[in-house]
Structure 1
Amino acid sequence: MVEVALHHRYDRDGFALEAAFAAPPRGVTTLFGPSGCGKSTILAAVAGLLRPRQGRVALDGMVLLDTAAGIFVAPERRRCGVVFQDARLFPHLSVETNLRYGLRRAPREAEGPGFEEVVALLGIGHLLARRPAGLSGGERQRVALGRALLSRPRMLLMDEPLAALDAARRTEVLPFLARLRDAARMPILYVTHALEEVDALADHLVVLDHGRVLAEGPVAEIALRTDLPLAARRDAGVLLDCTVLAAPEGGLARLGFAGGELLTTLHPGAVGTRLRVRLRARDVAVAVQEPQGISTQNVLPATLAEIRPAGEPQEVFLRLAVGPSTVLARITRDSLERLALRPGMPVWALLKAVTFDHRVAAPPEHAP
């Protein structure tokens, strides 16, 4: 487990950080929030690149920082693999030499993946003879990930590693990050302000704003919170764990989740693939009678569990129970009154669109 409690201020009237959270011993803990909220400051303090005024950082019981006890472990002794927005590769060295530099920095007794395993994991075997100037932005970031992993760290720290990439390059790198997350047996702290990266990678989510932790917990639970700034986003919604039940037939793939099935025009993978689906609240409509003769094919029986205010005064969130799963719908107050909606009544959820992340939780042969 990673324990973080920090208090820091830049100058007398500067930015103030007052944040505390605990990250699970494995998987990706994402620090999420707008620019300037303190995400990178936290990462710098964990890495030892910043000495906060007050604080404590511990990894699996080993204290890396405790200002009250006068403990400050030097950055090079913390064994944190750090990946920044820019890859920071040595321009005069080949990809292979850059990677082996990370391997040379690994403690002799440290266990971890070998050179060939990391190269295969990140799909960079064909790049080994090249120099960084001959790589795309996405390729450089994959090499930087490999170098960090080969240093055999006890923890990986990623500071918005995709922020400098365009949409195409981000799409290229995300599957490799997901593969790395599933292969690494260590905690990963990942800084981002991009919700698509949260959906694709996060297991645990820490929501920050103005230097404070607003909420932390499993990402699916935080996504359901309508009292957080996340709910004000137009892409706010829930995350469902799904399994591909049928490959596209007539252009549609069939997904199963705890509560029903979904049809989608996207191509989420082979039968048995497990993935996470974001259902945006604005894409969910409700009906008080079972619809007939409509084009929408995802019509799910549900129970209206709760009505909550939304960020806009003329809108509300509906929490819909679809079997054991919860779906959020965002509708106008006019619709709420016109349909006489109230908690406990049966409704039908109409899902106009679903969006997918890149997470594959298990290979098809191991899927339930």
Structure 2
Amino acid sequence: MSLSLHITHQLGDFTLDAGFEAGPGVTALFGPSGSGKSSISNAVAGLIQPDFGRIALHDKLLYDAPSRVFVPPHKRRVGYVFQDGRLFPHMTVEGNIRFAMRFARSPGDPARIVELLGLAGLMQRRPRLLSGGEKQRVALARALMSDPEILLMDEPLAALDEPRKEEILPYLERLRDQTDIPILYVSHSVAEVARLADNLVILQDGKVVQEGPTEKVLSDPAAMPFVGVREAGSILRARVLKHGSDGLCRLAISGGELTLPGVTAKPNSDIRIRVLAQDILLSLHHPEGLSSRNILPVVVESIRLGDGPGAAVSLRAGDDHLLARITAQAARELHLTPGLRCYAILKATAVPKGSIGH
């Protein structure tokens, strides 16, 4: 594991008592404001010292209460990207990026990082002339140039509007896919987590309530109260087969094929698809005469009834998990039970805008 953390810390009336292990890739800390996400990130960075516990990074102790180990922040190989970027206003983009090299044990190739984050045309600009998305890309490049062993990103897109988020998300995907630096990503956005995270840790009131691979956690009915019924859904991994002249794209998933609009990835590319639970219909028999062509054979894995009229149904489609939200009455009338084979119907427009990523 890249990061192992088990800490307790008292902050006024708030008690943080959390533990998890994070491997390579992107591990997202998800939860509402005040759930402990930023406190965990600050503990990893050494900006706060927990009351008790242990934090290890690549088998190196950063903090261990019993043995009184606490590595100060400047000696930790941690890159930190904050919500507001925090660039040096008197320096150019190039100056901000190169500033971090003085803290690196083995400085990376600036040209590679500049290319990775699409900054070549911005190098001589000062921060006041950059958009919000550009500032965050520069802050990310500066963090990478410090040669970190882990990258912390604390709500890096929270201050951006939707167009700026869409501008920077592809660069974050490239960072995830083209580097081997583990990333701890703090967010309260399900859409960001679904698009970027390999693993997910859900926090509530200072405690870990769900953790595991993102696809598995988000499709678990037990996670719906923490994610929210309108945001609950699933992630499917798909391969692009063919783009049609009508603007629709054929995709292969483990449980069959889908036809969706808005896919820009090239044929043979692997992408993620986010499907909301509220956009899935269930049928006991293969439906005929529907406008939707996205019909998948599925197996019911579990059913969770809420306090209201709804029911969350966990489904398996091939090797993938799906989550459907239907009424409890419909679940009873369909006699849904674990192991039942049925069909899931997805509209071609069911995938939320901006949720298709690499």
The one-letter code of the counterpart of 1:178 is E
Residue 287 of structure 1 and its aligned partner are, at CA, apart by: 1.8
Contact 1:20 1:213 (C-alpha < 8 Å) held by counterparts = yes
**Runs of 5+ unmatched residues, structure 1:** 361-368
The equivalent of 1:332 in structure 2 is 327
The equivalent of 1:271 in structure 2 is 267
User: Which of 194, 207, 211 is matched with 1:199 structurally?
Assistant: 194
Residue 348 of structure 1 and its aligned partner are, at CA, apart by: 2.1
The equivalent of 2:9 in structure 1 is 8
Is residue 285 of structure 2 the alignment partner of residue 284 of structure 1?
no
Q: Per-residue displacement from partner, 1:303-339 (whole Å, max 9, x unpaired)?
A: 3343322x35211122333333332221112222333
Q: Kindly report which structure 2 residues correspond to 1:125-140, keeping only aligned pairs within 5 A, or say none.
A: 125-140=120-135
User: Which of 303, 309, 312 is matched with 2:299 structurally?
Assistant: 303
Contact 1:157 1:190 (C-alpha < 8 Å) held by counterparts = yes
Q: Kindly report which structure 2 residues correspond to 1:245-260, keeping only aligned pairs within 5 A, or say none.
A: 245-260=241-256
Give me the CA root mean square deviation. Answer: 1.6
Name the TM-score, length of structure 1 as normaliser.
0.92
User: Which of 98, 105, 114 is matched with 2:109 structurally?
Assistant: 114
The one-letter code of the counterpart of 1:22 is E
**Runs of 5+ unmatched residues, structure 2:** none
CA–CA distance in 1 between the matches of 2:65 and 2:93?
39
The equivalent of 1:94 in structure 2 is 92
Contact 2:221 2:323 (C-alpha < 8 Å) held by counterparts = no
Structure 1 residues 124 and 303: alpha-carbon distance in aligned structure 2, compared to 1, 3 A threshold: same
Structure 1 residues 322 and 173: alpha-carbon distance in aligned structure 2, compared to 1, 3 A threshold: same
Structure 1 residues 154 and 323: alpha-carbon distance in aligned structure 2, compared to 1, 3 A threshold: closer
Q: Per-residue displacement from partner, 1:91-142 (whole Å, max 9, x unpaired)?
A: 01111111110112212xx2x5311011000000100111000000100000
User: Which of 52, 57, 60 is matched with 2:58 structurally?
Assistant: 60
**SS in structure 1 opposite 2:137?**
helix
Contact 2:283 2:343 (C-alpha < 8 Å) held by counterparts = yes
Contact 1:94 1:128 (C-alpha < 8 Å) held by counterparts = yes
Q: Kindly report which structure 2 residues correspond to 1:229-240, keeping only aligned pairs within 5 A, or say none.
A: 229-230=225-226, 232-240=228-236
Residue 157 of structure 1 and its aligned partner are, at CA, apart by: 0.8
Residue 358 of structure 1 and its aligned partner are, at CA, apart by: 5.1
CA–CA distance in 1 between the matches of 2:211 and 2:183?
15
Q: Per-residue displacement from partner, 1:147-197 (whole Å, max 9, x unpaired)?
A: 000011111111111111111111111111111112222211110001111
The equivalent of 2:17 in structure 1 is 18
The equivalent of 1:364 in structure 2 is none
The one-letter code of the counterpart of 2:351 is V
The equivalent of 1:150 in structure 2 is 145
CA–CA distance in 2 between the matches of 1:266 and 1:286?
24
Q: Per-residue displacement from partner, 1:11-39 (whole Å, max 9, x unpaired)?
A: 3xx21100111111x21111110010000
Work out the number of aligned pairs and report it: 353
Is residue 351 of structure 2 the alignment partner of residue 354 of structure 1?
yes
Residue 220 of structure 1 and its aligned partner are, at CA, apart by: 1.1
Structure 1 residues 187 and 340: alpha-carbon distance in aligned structure 2, compared to 1, 3 A threshold: closer
The one-letter code of the counterpart of 2:177 is D
Structure 1 residues 114 and 74: alpha-carbon distance in aligned structure 2, compared to 1, 3 A threshold: same
Name the TM-score, length of structure 2 as normaliser.
0.94
Q: Per-residue displacement from partner, 1:75-103 (whole Å, max 9, x unpaired)?
A: 01001011000111110111111111011
**SS in structure 2 opposite 1:249?**
coil
Q: Per-residue displacement from partner, 1:271-304 (whole Å, max 9, x unpaired)?
A: 1111111121110101223222221221223333
Residue 258 of structure 1 and its aligned partner are, at CA, apart by: 0.4
Q: Percent identity?
A: 45
CA–CA distance in 1 between the matches of 2:11 and 2:318?
49
CA–CA distance in 1 between the matches of 2:299 and 2:17?
40
The one-letter code of the counterpart of 2:17 is E
**SS in structure 1 opposite 2:222?**
coil
The one-letter code of the counterpart of 2:139 is A
